[in-house]
Amino acid sequence: MLEKQIDPGHKPVRNALRIVGPALALTGAVFLIVGLVDFFRAFGGHGAPTLFWCIFVGMFLLPLGGILTSYGFMGPVMRYMAEETAPVGKDTFNYMAHGTQAGIRTVAGALGQGLREGGLGGGSTAMVRCHKCNALAPAEAKFCGQCGQPLGKTKPCPQCHELNDPDAKFCDNCGHALG
């Protein structure tokens, strides 16, 4: 066995624990049962519980035996748990990494969109198209960089004073013919 090669000195101790541990746990369980039976019999009108201390002995021996047993079986149990939890751990890690990535992407996307909407990124949302030559110009530009055409809504309506596109024939707001 591989175990023998790793720690040959611990094997007898472990084997002893595998016997002593369950034996202690079993003894503890017996004490616990005896104590409890005596306790409930006392409740049934058989006088004071005389073996009440057995409960405490059992409560002490049972976990002790359990601990010793777990030490005795520590190696195989640990290996088993490692094998059992490894894929789960990996899945959890992947899931978390995936979720984190998605979260970062969402945050980065929102941040980028915010920057673009704020005009810092110079994205397409902050651009306008020249009515004359169709070239793109920043929304805040007053004239087209290609042909010098005035950009934005610069033509006031004589009726409602709404500002319209420079080449608009009719008012966007009231439909009045623009000169």
**Interaction site with Zn ion (CB under 5 A):** 130, 132-133, 135, 144, 146-147, 149, 157, 159-160, 162, 171, 173-174, 176
Q: Where are the beta strands (DSSP E) in 18-156?
A: 127-129, 136-138, 155-156
Residue 169 C-beta: closest distance to Zn ion, Å:
12
CB neighbours of 30 closer than 8 A, spacing ≥ 6?
58
Residue labelled with tokens 């047993």: 69
29 vs 141 by CB, closer to Zn ion: 141
112 vs 158 by CB, closer to Zn ion: 158
Residue 136 C-beta: closest distance to Zn ion, Å:
10
Task: Map residue 150 onto helix, strand or coil.
Answer: strand
Calpha distance 72→68 (Å, rounded): 6
Residue 177 C-beta: closest distance to Zn ion, Å:
9
69 vs 164 by CB, closer to Zn ion: 164
